[in-house]
């Protein structure tokens, strides 16, 4: 490990640029990003990445610790809480730095802003290690509070612990890919459940439906109940998806059993409770057990936080985009627990989430840090 580097007032130790791996890793933020992407951190296995992140804060004189569930906590000025998730989905994407590809006109495309732009390839570069690192660098520059949470990709254990363990900040900026010039205001909610049905075994020539048929019939009715018209945007729909099925004769051969794991996405125009009741109304046999739901969220596009992002993005030469996402994130849980202004922001193309070609433009990463810094400086006190 080399001596600590200080770049734009941000210090780091042992980052990739310090070791001279690649000329593109010429800032502390880029080096930290490379390190974190290089450390496998699927949900439940975030410890090594969390410790690397904590070392970054320690090198910059910030109080930091790993809490009871493994979240990285670096308290600061609670005018803004910067938070993103440390974990990634499974899957190996070889970590490498590539020059950005040019289009027919010789340009690097929308995600790059310079002729010598580079891309960092690797699992998590977009979802959400890029946003996580941008927030860590911004927290050190501005003094804002920071938390890197665990297990967002599975059960959101880190976020659930956080809202129970601390008081609300004044505002929350959640880290997920929106593109450096985009700000996400809305997410649909999430409802997951398991349907179970059992019937007596019998000859397959009998006309009575068995448990497998009951399960299929129930799910068909649920899909029909939430079938949208062709003019309804996806964000405003309840979408239904079976994600697992198991069925057949029981071990003793005396019954037929069927289990279906299902997921429903819930728009802000309705509630998780209403969707659950509608799905249960279609039961004619069997039972369904629901997991803890995540409610939908829709932020205020005219609020002070959203306005600050529009100003900062324009200051970097961008045309701000206000987004609504059809998925779900930890900000849904924060919004349900804390009545505070919230947006979601981060570098990266969300179309590359969980993809085999996941990669992030390093110049876009730099721009996102400048945008986040400008936003936080509007809220965080500079008093000594």
Separation of alpha carbons 265 and 161, rounded Å = 23
List 12, 15, 87, 257, catalytic entry: 87
Contact 264, 238 (CB under 8 A): yes
* Cβ contacts of 346 within 8 Å, gap of 6 or more: 84, 128, 130, 131, 132, 134, 135, 175, 176, 177, 178, 368
Give the annotated binding-site residues for Zn(2+).
85, 127, 153, 176, 354
Give the annotated binding-site residues.
85, 127, 153, 176, 354
300 is catalytic: no
Structure-block tokens of residue 208: 């009575």
330 is catalytic: no
Q: Which residues pair with 193 in a beta bridge?
A: 262, 290
List 152, 181, 330, 366, catalytic entry: 152
Separation of alpha carbons 271 and 183, rounded Å = 24
List of E strands, the chain: 5-7, 10-12, 65-66, 72-74, 77-85, 96-99, 118-121, 144-149, 172-175, 182-187, 189-200, 239-249, 255-266, 287-290, 297-298, 321-325, 342-345, 359-361
Q: 73 φ, ψ to 5°?
A: -110, 120
Please give the C-alpha separations between residue 260 and each of 197, 250, 352, in angstroms, as whole numbers. 9, 16, 29
Separation of alpha carbons 241 and 239, rounded Å = 7
Separation of alpha carbons 45 and 41, rounded Å = 5
Contact 113, 365 (CB under 8 A): no
Please list the active-site residues. Answer: 87, 152
């Amino acid at each position: 490990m080399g001596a600590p580097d200080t770049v734009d007032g941000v210090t780091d130790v042992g980052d990739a640029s310090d070791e001279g791996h690649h000329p593109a890793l010429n800032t502390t933020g880029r080096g930290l990003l490379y390190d974190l992407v290089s450390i496998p951190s699927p949900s439940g296995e975030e410890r090594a990445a969390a410790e690397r992140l904590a070392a970054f804060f320690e090198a910059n004189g910030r109080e930091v610790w790993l809490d009871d569930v493994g979240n990285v906590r670096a308290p600061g000025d609670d005018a803004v809480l910067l938070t993103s998730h440390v974990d990634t989905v499974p899957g190996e994407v070889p970590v490498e730095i590539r020059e950005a590809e040019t289009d027919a006109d010789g340009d690097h495309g929308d995600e790059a802003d310079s002729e010598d732009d580079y891309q960092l390839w690797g699992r998590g570069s977009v979802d959400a290690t890029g946003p996580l690192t941008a927030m860590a660098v911004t927290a050190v520059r501005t003094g804002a509070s920071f938390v890197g949470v665990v297990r967002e990709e599975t059960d959101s254990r880190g976020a659930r612990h956080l809202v129970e363990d601390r008081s609300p900040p004044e505002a929350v900026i959640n880290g997920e890919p929106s593109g450096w010039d985009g700000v996400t205001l809305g997410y649909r909610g999430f409802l997951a459940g398991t349907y179970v049905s059992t019937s007596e075994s019998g000859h397959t020539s009998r006309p009575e439906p068995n448990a497998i048929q009951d399960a299929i019939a129930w799910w068909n009715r649920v899909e029909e109940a939430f079938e949208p018209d062709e003019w309804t945007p996806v964000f405003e729909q309840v979408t239904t998806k079976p994600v697992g099925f198991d069925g057949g004769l029981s071990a003793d051969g005396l019954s037929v059993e069927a289990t279906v794991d299902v997921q429903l996405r819930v728009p802000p125009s309705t509630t998780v409770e209403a969707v659950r009741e509608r799905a249960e109304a279609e039961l004619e046999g069997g039972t369904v057990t629901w997991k803890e739901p995540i409610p939908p969220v829709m932020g205020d596009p005219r609020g002070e936080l959203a306005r600050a992002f529009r100003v900062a993005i324009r200051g970097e030469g961008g045309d701000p985009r206000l987004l609504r996402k059809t998925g779900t994130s930890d900000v849904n849980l924060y919004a349900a627990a804390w009545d505070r202004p919230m947006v979601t922001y981060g570098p990266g193309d969300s179309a590359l989430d969980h993809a085999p070609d996941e990669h992030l433009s390093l110049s876009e990463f730099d721009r996102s840090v400048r945008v986040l810094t400008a936003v936080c400086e509007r809220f965080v006190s500079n008093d000594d």
